Structure 1
Amino acid sequence: MSFSQRGAVAFRGIRKAFGAFVAIPDLNLTIAPGELVTLLGPSGCGKTTTLRMLAGLEAPTEGQILIGGEDVTRLPANRRDVSMVFQSYALFPHMSVAQNVAYGLEAGGMKSRPARAAAREGLDLVGLSGMADRLPSELSGGQQQRVAVARALVLEPQVLLLDEPLSNLDARLRRRVRTEIRELQQRLGFTAVYVTHDQEEALAVSDRIVVMLEGQVAQAGPPRELYEAPASEFIADFIGEANVIDCEVTQVSDGTATVAIGAVQQTVPAREAVPGPAKLAVRANAIRLRPGRGELPGRVLSAAYLGDHMEYEVETDLGRFFAIVAESDTPMPQGSDIAVEFRSRGLALIT
């Protein structure tokens, strides 16, 4: 199975309307060969519609979709050279694992013996070589997901599409399977388009994240860029749950800005800031709390113990803050007076 030649994907001026409702007003997006791009956003943002148009399950109202340089806009799904891993896995319960993986090959005209050989090769790729003769009901959720991935990969598609592939798994299993999918994609080098609403999942698996809002690209870039340099208040809050507060940029010099957060002075990357009022995204783990009073006094509204950290809601003159504090040995009780301070990392001016 060779994945040395993967196709690029391009959406050019894509518009998708359902009657009077315009789900995608004007989408322009390119995906490089061998890249794993995640479409991320809240419910109704257009990410699943975009994936379905790429798969050929929905037709765009206007525009072009290209895969590997070929215009596939009007081609049916079975001529797109893509494979899709569904949220529900869609395994046939009466077929063995090997039969499930070989199904698409046999349906496409491959004889049974070479199809079964290819299926076993696909199961080897995903670490299920010893389970070819089992039924799906005899597998765990994570193993069933890997069968679905193997079934898609044996077709050797130009692009692998994954639609909320981990949503049916529990939190611990999600972490493990997302790591397996990422390692497999990097090892084989195939192009993948991954849809999820889970920000942590997107950060973990992606070469690039495309955050969508109301059918448009709100921001696209590597995970670190979106987390550390959000382009808007929406991105700052959606990627990593930031506190967005008012501040005053008092000075900009050599790529660094000095900002006043109430009486607190802090230096942050300037980005494109100019002196004057601004918005500052403050990550929950960039907030330090200590008992007593300080330049920015506050009061603990709620405190939750989560094992390796504490989560606090804090009221200040600048508004409410959500804070994550790693030290949970001496929690600060509800109603206690505290001083709010900021770490140097985890603050970003919103330009």
Structure 2
Amino acid sequence: MTDLKPGSVVFENVRKDFGTFTAIPDLSITIEPGTLVTLLGPSGCGKTTTLRMLAGLEHPSAGRILIGGRDVTMVPAHERDVSMVFQSYALFPHMNALDNVAYGLESSGYNKREARERAEEGLAQVGLAGMGHRLPAELSGGQQQRVAVARALVLNPQVLLLDEPLSNLDARLRRRVRTEIRELQQRLGFTAVYVTHDQDEALAVSDRIVVMKDGKIAQEGAPRELYEEPVSEFIADFMGEANVVTCEVVGREGDETLIDVGGLQHRLRARQTANGKAKLAVRPGSVVLNPEGASGLGGEILTAAYLGDHVEYEIETQVGNFFVIDHSVERSFAPHTAVSLGFRNRGLALIEA
């Protein structure tokens, strides 16, 4: 797998219709070679349809798709120089790991000896050296996933496509395997397009995230940008929980915006915003709780739940209810207790009203 040749991906004004239903109205995306870009969104947002068009399993109704600068809009799937890792892994149960990886190579014209050599190299690249003799049933879910990745990569595709690749794994194994996929992508430098509905997964593996809604791009950017600078209530809530409340923009000082939230004034970095009513997204961990009487936004504890390393609160205030995650477990507030809320410097964003 030393001769991987990462390619770029470009969608130019792509539309996809299914009869009278338009799943993708007008999509334009550019993916740089050697990067991992995640298509993220709820069910029905168009991410899987986008991946299938890139794979050649669906063809656009309009627009162009380019891979490595080559127009592949109407090129059959087997001529596109892409490989896909499926949600189900799709390993042959009667073949051992080595034969599973070698199968595609032999089908592509490699002789048996060369195919097996390349397959052994592929298994070593994903940390499975010496395990080629095992059948899929003798491998863990994470190991099966790595066999599927090796089988795709030994074909030296310009682009690797991953369709919900961790959905069959339990939560603990998902965390480990997503780290392995990210480390492998960075080490080998292949281009990858990754589809998931899991926000944590997207944040952990991606160079860039494209969040989709109703077949359109709701926002795209680096993981930190999407989490810390959401442009809409949908993004703020989808990329981790957020409390969305009304505030007042009262002025600017340099690159900071001064806001008023129920009498509590706070400065934050924000895009240019006119004075007046606005919406503020506040992450649950960005609220600071103090006893009643401290300066801040007054509130009352509605519920409190101790979860080991943090306490979760629902708090009623004059601007709306807040869901708060407080890691100060040595101090907790009981329901019906009056408290004062303040904000940390990070985890707040002005969003579209």
Q: TM-score, normalised by structure 2?
A: 0.96
* Residue segments in structure 1 that go unaligned for 5+ positions in a row: none
Question: How many residues are aligned here?
Answer: 351
* Residue segments in structure 2 that go unaligned for 5+ positions in a row: none
Describe how 1:239-318 pairs up with structure 2 within 5 A.
239-294=239-294, 295-318=296-319
1:123-142 CA deviation, whole Å, 9 max, x = no partner? 00000002100011111111
Distance 2:148 2:259 in 1: 51
Task: Name the amino acid aligned to 2:20.
Answer: A
Q: Secondary structure of 1:289's match? A: strand
Indicate conservation of the 8 Å contact 1:252/1:270, yes or no.
no
Indicate conservation of the 8 Å contact 2:298/2:317, yes or no.
yes
Q: Secondary structure of 1:98's match? A: helix
Cα deviation for residue 323 of structure 1 reads 1.0
Q: Show the counterpart of 1:99.
A: 99
Query: Does the C-alpha gap of structure 1 residues 3 and 179 become closer, same or farther in structure 2, counting only changes over 3 Å?
Result: farther
Q: Show the counterpart of 1:321.
A: 322
Cα deviation for residue 38 of structure 1 reads 0.4
1:255-291 CA deviation, whole Å, 9 max, x = no partner? 1111000010000013111211111111111012233
Cα deviation for residue 178 of structure 1 reads 0.7
Q: Show the counterpart of 1:23.
A: 23
Distance 2:139 2:338 in 1: 52
Q: Show the counterpart of 2:172.
A: 172
1:6-56 CA deviation, whole Å, 9 max, x = no partner? 111000111001111110000011100001100011111000100011001
Distance 1:305 1:118 in 2: 53
Q: Show the counterpart of 2:78.
A: 78
Q: Secondary structure of 2:5's match? A: coil
Q: Secondary structure of 1:130's match? A: coil
Superposition RMSD in Å? 1.3
Distance 1:313 1:159 in 2: 45
Q: Show the counterpart of 2:87.
A: 87
Q: Secondary structure of 2:349's match? A: strand
Q: Secondary structure of 1:129's match? A: coil
Indicate conservation of the 8 Å contact 2:4/2:158, yes or no.
no
Distance 2:34 2:124 in 1: 21
Distance 2:30 2:308 in 1: 42
Indicate conservation of the 8 Å contact 2:4/2:157, yes or no.
no
Q: Secondary structure of 1:301's match? A: strand
Cα deviation for residue 293 of structure 1 reads 4.5
Identical columns (%): 66
91-100 or 298-307, which deviates more: 298-307
